[in-house]
Structure 1
Amino acid sequence: MPSVLAIRHLGFEHLGVWHGALERRGFEIAYCDPARADLGSIDAAEPDLLVVLGAPIGAFDDEHYPFLTGEVALIERRLASGRPLLGICLGAQLMARALGAGVVPMAEKEIGFGPLTLTDAGAASPLQHLEGWPVLHWHGDQFAVPEGATLLGATEQCPHQAFAIGSRILGLQCHLEADAAEIEAWLVGHCAELLASGRDPRAIRADAARFGPTLAVRAEQVLDHWIDGWDESMRDD
């Protein structure tokens, strides 16, 4: 049975709609809390897929959150293995850091639902299933596109929304995994950030109900398309 290890920083920021999608493909799913786990003891090449999820901290905040140093080292080991790696929000920013790229604050936080503008490469990538449909954004930092990576998408506020290296490395700033049916946990868990940024939770709640069901289908199509692009070559490793 293929396996997924998901690095989860917050209880409610889990694999969401992708949990069931992965199970349907036969994956066995395990979670790891990087703030408590011995990251140095993890064999980064063992799981068939490593997913690094989001959190409301910065990718270079090691002084305040020392576990980030070990987490970046884990990502570096995974990158060296050549096996599939998916980063979401902070996860993508940590991937960019591990690849030598910067991560900097944006002029304004991007929170709420809005569509991506796909590059030509993005329109030919698994992200093609998102064309014209709003996705969930929830971040205040932006990664630079790592050397050797391909930019896949952008928004007006955040020109760097997704990057890929080959068929097995994918970094997403937006939250395709988020289950709109569980948006209340996000609204409560990030209530201080919403208040500080002047965002109205009622608007996000309404958009989650409006866009969530179709977005869940499209997000699963993205995941399936991406996995279909690497699983054949992975079996040959």
Structure 2
Amino acid sequence: MLPVLIVQNDPQEGAGSLATLMAKRGLSQFIVQGFNAPYAELTPERFSALIILGGAQSAYETEAYPYLEREMALVTAFMSADKPIAGFCLGAQILAAALGGDVCAGAQKEIGWYDLTLRDEAADDPLLKGHPKTLLSYHFHGDVIRHIPNGIVLASSEMTPWQTFRHGQKAYGFQYHAEVNRSLLADMCRNNESYLAANGIDADALIVASQPHLADFEHHCAGILERWLDLFSIAEEVR
């Protein structure tokens, strides 16, 4: 099977539980750093799917981070090739921007544990079957998605309407961190200690406070991520 292309926007923050699930399936992972990826070589025919991860950048900061436009071009190419795409946090915003959506700074930062609530549109979505109507979920973002042409909102939080969305049948964006596990959460907090402190949050305290919520969160997110992997791994096995 072709490898899965993973674009990291922070060298210290990987794909968390999603990487673990791929490893269990024996799926190979081709990991690149967004700021220096060999974009000319990253053509869709070489990969089974595309994953874009989070980072401190903003999707609209293309002058400061011109490679973000290359990531958006990747999205366009994979969409045209009908290959599955998953974007997480910044990755979801990059996906949204590539689809002609509006990404901007939110009224307030959503960091920590907040309820994620499924919309009616999630009832027949293949990834979200069996997911609780409301799930306490992990968030770490200041920017938000306002609109995506032909995008379908699947889940929202009180602060962020576009928490989970789908475009077409194979492109999914997760504004919250559906890929987070214990080690990734700790890396994320310690990697952003000064940012958290500037927003009145102690990194170590957030790590400790997260422990009681992680098992249930990981369990339900694993179902979503497994079904996203099914979009291409089962299809490949059938061939």
TM norm structure 2: 0.90
Moved more, 127-136 or 31-40: 127-136
- Cα distance between partner residues in 1 of 2:12 and 2:136: 21
- Cα distance between partner residues in 2 of 1:24 and 1:235: 15
- Cα distance between partner residues in 1 of 2:68 and 2:116: 29
- Cα distance between partner residues in 2 of 1:134 and 1:203: 18
**Partner residue of 2:221?**
219
Percent identity of the aligned residues? 27
* Alignment counterpart, residue 163 of structure 1, candidates 159, 165, 186: 165
- Cα distance between partner residues in 2 of 1:97 and 1:61: 11
Residue 187 of structure 1 deviates from its aligned partner by: 1.6
**Partner residue of 1:87?**
87
* 1:55 is aligned to 2:55: yes
CA RMSD of aligned residues (A): 2.0
* Alignment counterpart, residue 151 of structure 2, candidates 141, 149, 152: 149
Native 8 Å contact 1:6 1:53 kept in 2: yes
What CA deviation, in whole Å up to 9, does each residue of 1:69-96 have, x standing for no partner?
A: 2121111111111110111111111111
* 1:23 is aligned to 2:23: yes
Change over 3 Å in CA distance of 1:228–1:183 after alignment to 2: closer
What CA deviation, in whole Å up to 9, does each residue of 1:132-176 have, x standing for no partner?
A: 332210001111332112100111111111110233110110101
Residue 177 of structure 1 deviates from its aligned partner by: 0.8
Residue 202 of structure 1 deviates from its aligned partner by: 4.3
- Cα distance between partner residues in 1 of 2:237 and 2:170: 13
Residue 118 of structure 1 deviates from its aligned partner by: 0.7
Moved more, 174-183 or 13-22: 174-183
- Cα distance between partner residues in 2 of 1:161 and 1:234: 29
Native 8 Å contact 1:45 1:83 kept in 2: no
Residue 229 of structure 1 deviates from its aligned partner by: 4.8
Native 8 Å contact 2:2 2:48 kept in 1: yes
**Partner residue of 1:7?**
7
Moved more, 99-108 or 139-148: 139-148
What CA deviation, in whole Å up to 9, does each residue of 1:41-93 have, x standing for no partner?
A: 31134211110000111101111112112121111111111110111111111
- Cα distance between partner residues in 2 of 1:104 and 1:206: 31
**Partner residue of 2:128?**
127
Residue 232 of structure 1 deviates from its aligned partner by: 5.1
Structure 2 runs not aligned, ≥5 long: none
- One-letter amino acid of the structure 1 residue matched with residue 103 of structure 2: V
Moved more, 92-101 or 131-140: 131-140
Aligned length: 237
- Cα distance between partner residues in 1 of 2:57 and 2:86: 18
Moved more, 211-220 or 89-98: 211-220
Native 8 Å contact 2:84 2:231 kept in 1: no
What SS class does the counterpart of residue 134 from structure 1 fall into?
A: strand
What SS class does the counterpart of residue 115 from structure 1 fall into?
A: strand
- One-letter amino acid of the structure 2 residue matched with residue 38 of structure 1: P
- One-letter amino acid of the structure 1 residue matched with residue 87 of structure 2: G
Native 8 Å contact 1:18 1:177 kept in 2: yes
**Partner residue of 1:190?**
192
Moved more, 198-207 or 183-192: 198-207
**Partner residue of 1:108?**
108
Change over 3 Å in CA distance of 1:191–1:135 after alignment to 2: same
TM norm structure 1: 0.91
- One-letter amino acid of the structure 2 residue matched with residue 35 of structure 1: F
Moved more, 223-232 or 180-189: 223-232
Native 8 Å contact 2:14 2:184 kept in 1: no
Change over 3 Å in CA distance of 1:84–1:229 after alignment to 2: closer
**Partner residue of 1:138?**
140
Change over 3 Å in CA distance of 1:182–1:229 after alignment to 2: closer
- Cα distance between partner residues in 2 of 1:206 and 1:124: 36
